[in-house]
Amino acid sequence: MNISEREIIDSLVNEFWRLGYFTLSRRMGKYLPEPTAIGNFKVDVVGRQRDKYAVGIILNLNDLNDLNLIEKIKYLASRHSKSSRKPVTLLVGVPEYYHKLAKQKISSLDGELKRNVKIVKITENRNAHLHQNKHTEVLFS
């Protein structure tokens, strides 16, 4: 797959927007600050929707083969917001061809933690529809 880490993060941010989250911070962004680490783990995107928060991470093959991955996911999926004590949703962005492997890893989590984790498939053509609209027919001349 010929897709950069920045494009993967962009796709994850698009998923945040699709779910209605406002992006508070993101890695490799121009205008937003870098997210701070949560515990000892780096995160790629942080979003907010009213009083609900979401954290996003991207995983590659090395991350999926890491022995500490389950601990990282458990830790990030068990976070609660300080004010409302609502659970923080964890969005995990993975390339499409690692989706099954990521699903297998996350299926070993407890029921409550598993509900806080959403896996997002990242495909190479995910952003194609954004650029496609720029070249549509002219309605007014």
User: Which residue range is the domain that position 101 belongs to?
Assistant: 5-128
pTM over cut 0.85: no
Query: Is 55 domain-assigned?
Result: yes
Distance CA 44, CA 84 (A): 23
Would you say residue 98 has pLDDT above 60? Answer: yes
- What phi and psi values does residue 95 have, to the nearest 5 degrees? -60, 150
Average pLDDT over residues 32-36: 84
Per-residue pLDDT, averaged over 29-45, amounts to 85
> Does a structural domain hold residue 78?
yes
In-domain check, residue 135: no
* Between 2 and 80, the higher pLDDT residue: 80
Residue 92 has pLDDT above 70, yes or no: yes
Q: What is the CATH number of the domain that holds 44?
A: 3.40.1350
Q: What is the pLDDT of residue 55?
A: 92
Query: Is the residue at 134 inside a domain?
Result: no
Q: How sure is the predictor about 126, in pLDDT bands with cuts at 50, 70 and 90?
A: very low
Query: Is residue 48 a contact partner of residue 42, using CB atoms and an 8 Å limit?
Result: no
pLDDT at 132 over 70: no
In a domain? residue 140: no
Question: Residue 62 falls within a domain, yes or no?
Answer: yes
53 DSSP β-pair partners = 48
- The candidate with the shortest Cα–Cα distance to 7, out of 125, 133, 129, is 125
In a domain, 138, yes or no: no
Is residue 97 in some structural domain?
Answer: yes
Using the predicted structure, report yes or no on whether residue 128 has a pLDDT greater than 50. Answer: no
Q: Considering its fold, how many domains does the chain have in total? A: 1
